[in-house]
Every structure is written in C-alpha cells, then in structure tokens.
Structure 1
C-alpha cells in the first residue's frame, strides 16, 4: 500500500492521538521541512477551530502534498523519539504496511540475468552477517582539566548508543580521555594481539536504557564505528588535557594489515568537534576511465568513512541540553534511512543538508554549520535494524 493510502486508512486514529500535543507535531513537521514557514504560520493561527480541527488541517495538508511527503510523515511518526514518547498509542496503529523502500519485483521465472544481478548486488555491498554486527566505540569527553565542560555531550552519547544498539552493534563508551588515553584505546581495539586487559580502559557498555560497567573483552564483527565527542581544532580532536590527537592518526590506527580483524571491513568515524573558532556565515541563494580488473589486494587506507561535524576552520554548534546539531541529526537520519535500507553515504548526505539549514542566531544566515564527509569505501554500506 502507498504511504498516502496508509495515511488515509488510519487518518481518524492518527488524528485522535495527535490531539494530545498538537504543538509538538506541528513543530516536528516544520523541522523536517514537510511544510513551509508560511503553511506553519497559517496552521498555527487558525481561528474558530479546536485542537482536533487544527490536527485535521495539518494531516490534510500533508496528504495534499503527495506520496513523498506522506512517506516522510509516516517515518516521523514511527522513528522520532519525542513523538514515540508523547504518542505511545501510535505503536498500536499499523503504519508500516507501506514498504519503506520497495523491493524490486521478481520475474515469475528466475533466469540467468536474475542470478547474475543478485550476485553483482552482493559483491557491491558490504556483507554484515556477524552477531553482533560489530563494535561501536564512543569516546565522550565532557570534563576538561581546565574546568571547561561540554554540556550536552551526554545527550549525544545516549542518542548514539540507542541508534547503534538498534542497528545491532555492541556499544562501548570511554569517558574523559586524555590524548594519550584516546590513542591507547584506539590502538587496543585495532590490535588483535594486544595483551592489555579491557579493565584498563574503563569501558562502559550500553545495556537496555543506560551504560553499565562491563569487563568482557571486545570482539570485532563485520563493521566498526568510532564516535568521538570532544573539543577540537583544525585536523585534530582534543583530549581532556587539551592535547591534540590528529584525525589522520585516528583513522590510520585502523589501516588494513595482514593481521587486522577489520581488513576489508567498513570502519566509520563520526567526529563531533570544532575544527576552528570561526563562525560560519550563510549566503543567500539567488536561484533556487579506469581498468575494470579485480585484484586480491586493497589499499591499506580503504574501507574508511569519516564524518566530521564541520569543515575545517569553523566551530561546531552544541546545545547544552539537547546535544549537538550534527550528532542528533546523524541519529535521526540513521533511524529513518536505515529502515528504508539506504546506504550510509546517502544518509549522511541528508545530515549535511539538514544541519546546513539550521540557524544559530535570530538573524537568518548569521551562524551556520556545514558538516563534511569523506570516505574510501569500496562498496555500499547498508545498516539494518
């Protein structure tokens, strides 16, 4: 069934539940750009309508915008944490009858072309078959030795833990690491024969709804994710001792070797840290061949993706309560895009777009942020819940 058909079939129940907090759902749809600023203002100020009337107008507006908008609205109802908490009854409504990413229709008779197509698709995508899928390490630097703390970083750590646990990863966290401690824990996870005991690194592990002390040795799977939440400067992240660790050194620690358990496997680095002190302004838009020869060898820096909160020289914005623009967008876009079986680069492109549209000042265009993604992935990386 189409998204619009699903929305139409469940329209009465959806409207009944959304009446519980109309302002919240209205703010959510404008955040996701499902309606324009003008439509938002009109819906917010309808006269002679009760709350139910406002909700009816909103849902009708969404349905009139077509299939794509309806699908985005259904995704919002199913994946947004605030919506899930405020409207728990929505779980009882069958909103997932529509296929978030339609499966290709198979011919009645399987021929050689079908077999070859499946083989090529498998070769072009990283295979994630291990249980758990892999390790997700979060380095969460909040309390710095100079007394300057990073308020809001725990919200980012929790959001990352929830989404990567949902995606099948074992999530470990180290807090308040110096530059040397960060380097040591990364080396430990990259070196299969390292004899250090996990207790030395004070790992905490995400378990259900929070982090607990855990001393079970980490074991790699088919993918690795490293999230670093800290202060930073151009090309580096800072330990809590204000000493710099270069992003290049971080990624090179996991370069492919004959003995590495991660050789040939995807390695993602998500970095929430300033890359300078400048505030990035906005600009008003005026108008809207290689040999195909397989080889048994891969470059040692292959299979890496680095996503940084901001381009070099500029600051990254973090709310003291709600967390950072970048990490919160990453987590939300993962929840939405992974259900549609989108690859990671497509999802992070949406993050770039979403963060770029945010405003950090009452004056439009005065304070902006532009994340940066660079990668040497050789295949599509699709993470699934």
Structure 2
C-alpha cells in the first residue's frame, strides 16, 4: 500500500539543492499529515518519525527519508507543501505547482469528513470525472475524491468501491443490467417488476424546538430523491414532522393500497436516541411503534413484500466537533422532551394527496391482492417478516453528519446503490455500505468513527432490477 523504492535521481538532486530552505521553513508535522493522506506514509510510520525528538530532527529525518518512498513521493511532497502553506518552496521543486493545487487548509474548502488515514487518499481536484465517481463542484466549493483507489474487492463483480465523500450524487448514472436474468426463483428473490416499484417516503426533520438544526441534511434528501427515483420508485418527501405527525404518516401508509406495488422504502432523517426518533416537537416515537404499522395484519397489501427502512439518526450519546454535527439528543433538556408534544393537524401533515386509504373492495377479492399477498395470507408469515431496518450506527453510538456534505451513512448508501443496484442484492450492498463508512470516514479531529448496523427480517434477496 505504501510506496517504497527509488526516486528519480533528478528529483533527489532537486530536493538536496533546496534542502536548506526546506529545513529552515517547513513544519514537518503538517507535511507528514498530508503525506499520510496521500498514502506515502502510514500512520504508524508517521508516529515513528514523530518520536525522533525535536522538530528539527523530525524535519531532517523526513527530508532524508522522503527520497526512499518511491517515484510518487516527490510530487506528493510538493503537493503537501502547497497545502501546508509552502507554495513558494513547492514551486522550486515543480515550477507552477502551487497554481494547480487547491488548498484544503480550511474547513470551508474541505466540506467532507476527513478520510481515514491509510485507507483513502483525498486530494483536491478541479471539476472532472475520476474513475467511476463524480467529482463536480458543490456551490462553488472545492470537491475532493481519491487520488489512488484502495483495492477493496467486490466479492461478486470484481469492481472496486470508491471511498470518500460524495455530497452530490445527482451527476452519477445508475448502473443498468447488461443482460436479462431468466427464471428468477420466486422462493429466493422478491418480485420487483411493477412500475413504479413502490413508494419511497422521505421524512426529513431539520428544525427543532431546542435541539440543534440538522445542517447538511438537505444534501441527503436530494441524493435520496435522485437515487430512488432512478431505481424506479415514486419518491415523496415530507419535511419537519412532529412525533404525532410521523405517527399519522405511518398510519396513512399502512392504510394505503399497495397492491399495485412490489416494495416500500422509508427514509427517516432526524435526531434520535437508542430505540427512538425525535419529531420536530422533540417528542420521541419508538421505532418498533412505526414498524408495527406494517405487520401483515395491519397492512395486508404489503404482506410478503419487502419493506425497507433507512434510519439516519443517533442511537446514543452525541459528540460535537465543530463543522461535523451528530444526530443525537444530549443537547436538549430531557425533562422537556414530552412536554413539547403537540397534536397533529392536517396543516402539519404534508403527505401527498395521492396516498388514498385502501378501499373495502381491496380486501374482498384475493386475486386482486397479488401473488405475494395471497401466499403470505395463506402461509401465515411472521408479522415482522420481510423488513430491513438499516440503522446508520450501532446501538448506543452517534451517527455523524457534515454540515456541507450530509451524513456519512446516506452518502455511502447512495453511492453504493447507484454503482451496484444492477448486479447486487440489497444485503450485499449494505455490506459494501458498512465497509465504505468504516474505512472512508472519520471526524475532523481524527478520533471518531462510525459503523452502520443493518438488521434484516427479509426472507428472500432484494434485487431492484431482477431479470432486467
């Protein structure tokens, strides 16, 4: 992973000619951090160098050792000098390089969570396509993607996951199946052929009574709308619902006639605690209370069909490190959590009028209900079957969100779905999301990580494009 070997003799000569100026001017610690980002050094090697003693000894060791780090180290060293404020010295190594490298010294220019050292190399680039990932500008700010992709093998297709932050995926195409898969086994794969596939409901809460505003969540909403519309769903967005408003929305979804659809997707973006989600009134609603609305006896037109819940919220204590915020609850007065509840009104409930309650006739004829429903009714499936709860984080832990990129979990989810929905089943893709979040993201202070936690009650594989 880390390059060692012989540097070009011309580059070695140039380094030595500039040795005095470099030794007198640079802060080797800052430069080393950039070299770790570029995978010239590992974090362990950096710690070893930092143990050499004084700053001058560290600088001298770095200037000697960089010559042994391989042919890519020279340019990486020059770029690192630019990004740490030594552009004039970098120009002595590679004339004009300071004009071609965008500095990532400020949080404003680097809107994403800092990629994990050793596992990804994030460098600033101009607007362009890099590999299979989109690297466009967002509101005029610099965008960052990997310079060197880490070879994380896709077990089935042999592709590589692109690590890093992608605050805007709307420029990325959704991969399409190249061949028709005949004879999909209905006992192993859910039917997924209706148009639209089903409803994709997004609940986005960003403003609360006393809790911090969830800055950056608008990027998650935009990305989710784009991804699920490209996957064939009818996407419907709901903004800033109280706890009672969320309950009312789920009750309406439960009563809705889904017989013409093959799936339901629900994405909830809000503050959370372990086992519960916050409405904008800071009332708590239990997750189980919501999923109970879709048990087969309460929502028969979804019986036997996949019901997919993607939950971007904390499940424990929150931590705040400046530009990055969390979706936790510790910033509010817990004594007022329930006092702020308010009754649901039609004005607060901004649910699409196209969701009409299921008529009595929908229950009167089993053939009209679809094969999945008939089979489910006849076989008496467990009431909680055919569900996936994709939590952004494990119980007790925070879920990270960046004010200028959105949440780590939703970013990774959208990228993976766009890249692999044509060939992979959902659980395989959720494993990719786990890998991406675990390796590609950490908080700006470098101390905090995140691990998504999908919980499955699915009985079959979910392919968004089975046989197509």
Please give the range of the TM-score, normalised by the shorter of the 2 chains: 0.5 to 0.7
Whole-angstrom CA distance in 1 between matches of 2:224 and 2:150 = 35
1:253-293 deviation line (CA, Å, top 9, x unaligned): 1111286211110000000011111569xxxxxxxxxxxxx
Q: 1:297 to 1:367 in 2, by over 3 A?
A: same
Q: 1:169 to 1:101 in 2, by over 3 A?
A: closer
| Structure 2 unaligned spans of 5+ | 1-37, 42-69, 79-92, 101-124, 132-146, 321-375
Map of 2:76 onto structure 1: 44
How many correspondences in the alignment? Answer: 282
Whole-angstrom CA distance in 2 between matches of 1:361 and 1:314 = 17
Q: Out of 190, 209, 213, which is 1:149 matched to?
A: 213
Cα drift, residue 145 of structure 1: 2.0
Map of 2:430 onto structure 1: 348
1:214-244 deviation line (CA, Å, top 9, x unaligned): xxxx986110000000000111010001111
1:101-160 deviation line (CA, Å, top 9, x unaligned): 8869x9xxxxxxxxxxx6573431111111101000000001112263111111111110
Q: 1:41 to 1:247 in 2, by over 3 A?
A: farther
Whole-angstrom CA distance in 2 between matches of 1:100 and 1:360 = 34
Task: Look up the SS of the partner of 2:201 in the other structure.
Answer: strand
Map of 1:181 onto structure 2: 245
Q: 1:296 to 1:84 in 2, by over 3 A?
A: closer
Structure-to-structure mapping, 1:46-195, within 5 angstroms:
72=159, 119=183, 121-146=185-210, 148-192=212-256
Q: Which is greater in Rg?
A: 2
Whole-angstrom CA distance in 2 between matches of 1:342 and 1:302 = 21
Structure-to-structure mapping, 1:284-299, within 5 angstroms:
296-299=379-382
Contact 2:259 2:301 in 1 (8 A): no
Task: Look up the SS of the partner of 1:121 in the other structure.
Answer: coil
Q: Out of 313, 317, 328, which is 2:411 matched to?
A: 328
Cα drift, residue 64 of structure 1: 12
Cα drift, residue 192 of structure 1: 3.1
Whole-angstrom CA distance in 1 between matches of 2:287 and 2:213 = 21
Q: Out of 388, 392, 399, which is 1:305 matched to?
A: 388
Q: 1:146 to 1:263 in 2, by over 3 A?
A: same
Whole-angstrom CA distance in 2 between matches of 1:316 and 1:134 = 28
* Pair 1:368 & 2:368 matched: no
Q: RMSD in angstroms over aligned alpha carbons?
A: 4.2
Contact 2:167 2:406 in 1 (8 A): no
Task: Look up the SS of the partner of 1:369 in the other structure.
Answer: coil
Q: Out of 238, 249, 272, which is 1:232 matched to?
A: 272
| Structure 1 unaligned spans of 5+ | 1-34, 107-117, 194-217, 281-293
Whole-angstrom CA distance in 2 between matches of 1:127 and 1:270 = 20
Q: 1:383 to 1:66 in 2, by over 3 A?
A: closer
Map of 2:313 onto structure 1: 273
Q: 1:72 to 1:184 in 2, by over 3 A?
A: same
TM-score by structure 1 length?
0.62
Cα drift, residue 44 of structure 1: 3.4
Query: Which structure has more helix as a fraction of its residues?
Result: 1
